[in-house]
Chains A and B, each alone.
Chain A
Amino acid sequence: MSYPELQTLKLERRGPVGWLINNRPERLNAMNALMREEFEVAWKVLDDDPEVRVIVHTGEGRAFQTGVDVNELATDGLGMERYRESVEKWDLHFTSWHNEVWKPVITAVNGLCAGGGFHWVADADIVIAASDAQFFDPHVSVGQVVAIEAIGLMKKMPVEAVMRMAFVGRHERMPAARAYELGMVSQVVDPPERLRDEAQALAEKIARNSPAAMAATKRALWGALETGLTEACRRGARELVSMWGHPDQEEGPRAFAEKREARWQAPSR
């Protein structure tokens, strides 16, 4: 499967791993209107490719992502008004969660992650970071409100740390080591140059698991953020039972007993 040429993102496949790479390094990978559109295409392409079992998202250059492109906002005569309708209608399509991608998604934070960059930290399943990665949220320092990405983070990690970032704005940065302590990231890669190798290695481990079982698990766990504990378990039961009678449920124990790699059903949308 060949991938389309995009202007602001790069798409690649390495073995079972699909790579989505923010590619505006001269703008610290800030998201302009084109990038926002291309994200939707990129997630769909990787989600539709049956060879892709796991997706890694990272950035070119010294930033991972730094939110919306404020230069474009200041000069195109439209500013944030361009995005009013999609935000008000909650019709966003730039993260894997927005696009209901049920393949595992690893965000590999390669440097600065600022403001809107947190969307891809909050909405990934797994987040790893280079040891020189830094996190901060400058929204309030430039007269903007932060809501969506900070809400997503608050559901997944200690709230105080998120509130502090939201209110301190650009005057303080959180280092990768602190993000690890807080459970915002699960791995810090040092030296930073090894980030992509480590992300690929982690993704390959995950790619050896049943795609259907991972998708069901992912739906159950993300669904749990929408409701209380007992209701989440009741809804999760549907995902659990969805694997009963699935070929992977037979194949897993058989492969284990025969000491060989499992041959799973290809992922389906």
Chain B
Amino acid sequence: MVASGYETLRVERTGPVGWLVFDRPEAANAMDARMMAELERAWRELDADPDVRVVVNTGAGRAFQTGLDLVQLSGDPAALREQARRTRDFALRFTAWHNEVWKPVIAAVNGVCAGGGLHFVADADVVIASSDATFLDPHVSVGQASVYETIALAKKSPMEPVLRMALVGSRERVDAARAYQLGIVSQVVDPPERLRDEAQALAEKIAQHPPDRLAATKRALWNALETP
């Protein structure tokens, strides 16, 4: 069953697993105004569907996710204003965490994950990556601060490598093997073509558990990040 009505995402089900796939491969899956609106809708749809026990989030093409599409947004003043407001008020709705999805979410990083793409790594419960995935945070190289994504990453993994990524900017990448050592991801899939199969298999293992226990566990653990 394929849900219709999305232009920038693919939202699908395979057994008990809901798939949320970034689908702007020609733009390295950067978030334009449409994708930001569609992300909120897709998370809500998958969250509301009782047949979906676990959600996998990945990208089509060579990139996982590369953050805001500033080219599109700069030509769309209304969308830019709305995004500015949401950013300033910390009222973002991109990720499962933003949308208070309490089903388990697996990010399956299929290629480059840059800048705002790190939101989806930081805010997932489980992260796996293809062996050719890379991580970088170019914000400071283009005159922007790196804040939400790296704060969440620093709460979940050793901080020094996160600070390094945030301060080095576009001039260095963390590869999948190092992300695995640091505990930013828990599984590296090689060859990379097997990523979706492995993500589905992992999601099916998780989906065997009672949904209410999974949700309660997820709430308890994320709430633990709310104290210093």
> Which residue of B70, B87, B160, B226 is within 8 Å of A240 (Cβ)?
B87
Tell me, yes or no, whether B217 is within 8 Å of chain A by CB.
no
Taking CB as reference atom, which chain A residue is nearest B92?
Answer: A233
Q: In chain A between 110 and 138, which residues have their CB closer than 8 angstroms to a CB of chain B?
A: 124-127
Distance between Cα atoms of A244 and B143 in the complex (Å): 9
Distance between Cα atoms of A45 and B60 in the complex (Å): 50
Distance between Cα atoms of A231 and B150 in the complex (Å): 14
| A208-B141, A221-B154, A228-B227 known; A233 vs B164 contact (CB < 8 Å) | no
> Which residue of A126, A127, A232, A250 is within 8 Å of B151 (Cβ)?
A232
Return B151 CB to nearest CB of chain A, in Å.
4
Return A230 CB to nearest CB of chain B, in Å.
6
Taking CB as reference atom, which chain B residue is nearest A204?
Answer: B171
Taking CB as reference atom, which chain B residue is nearest A210?
Answer: B143
Question: Are A240's CB and B145's CB within 8 A?
Answer: yes
Tell me, yes or no, whether B158 is within 8 Å of chain A by CB.
yes
Binary per-residue interface labels of chain A (227-246) against chain B in the complex, 1 for a CB within 8 Å, 0 otherwise: 11111111011011111101
Distance between Cα atoms of A207 and B175 in the complex (Å): 23
* CB neighbours of B158 from chain A (8 A): 156-158, 182-184
Tell me, yes or no, whether B157 is within 8 Å of chain A by CB.
yes
> Which residue of B144, B147, B160, B168 is within 8 Å of A184 (Cβ)?
B160
Distance between Cα atoms of A126 and B162 in the complex (Å): 9
Return B140 CB to nearest CB of chain A, in Å.
4
Count contacts on A: residues with CB < 8 A to the other chain.
Answer: 58
Tell me, yes or no, whether A36 is within 8 Å of chain B by CB.
no
Question: Are B163's CB and A221's CB within 8 A?
Answer: yes
* CB neighbours of B160 from chain A (8 A): 124-127, 156-157, 183-186
Which stretch from A19-27, A65-73, A212-220 is at the chain B interface? Answer: A212-220
Distance between Cα atoms of A98 and B226 in the complex (Å): 25
> Which residue of B162, B172, B225 is within 8 Å of A221 (Cβ)?
B162
Question: Are A236's CB and B147's CB within 8 A?
Answer: yes
Q: Chain B's interface: helix, strand, loop or mixed, by majority?
A: helix
* CB neighbours of B148 from chain A (8 A): 233, 236, 240
Tell me, yes or no, whether B206 is within 8 Å of chain A by CB.
no
Tell me, yes or no, whether B31 is within 8 Å of chain A by CB.
no
Tell me, yes or no, whether A18 is within 8 Å of chain B by CB.
no
Tell me, yes or no, whether B61 is within 8 Å of chain A by CB.
no
> Which residue of A155, A233, A264 is within 8 Å of B143 (Cβ)?
A264
Distance between Cα atoms of A205 and B159 in the complex (Å): 20
Tell me, yes or no, whether B78 is within 8 Å of chain A by CB.
no
Return A259 CB to nearest CB of chain B, in Å.
13
Tell me, yes or no, whether A224 is within 8 Å of chain B by CB.
yes
Question: Are B168's CB and A205's CB within 8 A?
Answer: yes
Binary per-residue interface labels of chain A (244-265) against chain B in the complex, 1 for a CB within 8 Å, 0 otherwise: 1010111111001000001010
Binary per-residue interface labels of chain B (122-139) against chain A in the complex, 1 for a CB within 8 Å, 0 otherwise: 000000000000000001
* CB neighbours of A243 from chain B (8 A): 143-145
Tell me, yes or no, whether A225 is within 8 Å of chain B by CB.
yes
Tell me, yes or no, whether A169 is within 8 Å of chain B by CB.
no
Tell me, yes or no, whether B177 is within 8 Å of chain A by CB.
no
Distance between Cα atoms of A214 and B172 in the complex (Å): 15
Distance between Cα atoms of A208 and B166 in the complex (Å): 13
Question: Are A228's CB and B163's CB within 8 A?
Answer: no
Question: Are B84's CB and A126's CB within 8 A?
Answer: no
Question: Are A226's CB and B141's CB within 8 A?
Answer: no
Tell me, yes or no, whether B228 is within 8 Å of chain A by CB.
yes
* CB neighbours of A239 from chain B (8 A): 145, 147
Q: In chain A between 145 and 160, which residues have their CB closer than 8 angstroms to a CB of chain B?
A: 155-158
Distance between Cα atoms of A181 and B226 in the complex (Å): 27
Tell me, yes or no, whether B142 is within 8 Å of chain A by CB.
yes
Return A111 CB to nearest CB of chain B, in Å.
19
Distance between Cα atoms of A31 and B20 in the complex (Å): 55
Return B96 CB to nearest CB of chain A, in Å.
14
Distance between Cα atoms of A248 and B145 in the complex (Å): 11
Binary per-residue interface labels of chain B (166-186) against chain A in the complex, 1 for a CB within 8 Å, 0 otherwise: 111101100000000111000
Q: Would you list the 3 A-B pairs with minimal beta carbon distance, nearest first?
A: A183-B158, A252-B143, A252-B142
- Enumerate 16 A-B pairs (CB-CB under 8 Å) in ascending A order: A125-B163, A186-B160, A213-B144, A217-B146, A220-B145, A224-B155, A228-B225, A228-B226, A228-B228, A229-B222, A229-B225, A233-B148, A236-B151, A239-B145, A241-B88, A243-B143
Extra contacts, 15 of them, besides A125-B164, A157-B158, A256-B142 (Cβ < 8 A), are A104-B167, A126-B167, A182-B158, A213-B139, A213-B143, A213-B145, A216-B147, A220-B146, A221-B163, A228-B228, A233-B90, A237-B90, A240-B144, A249-B144, A253-B143
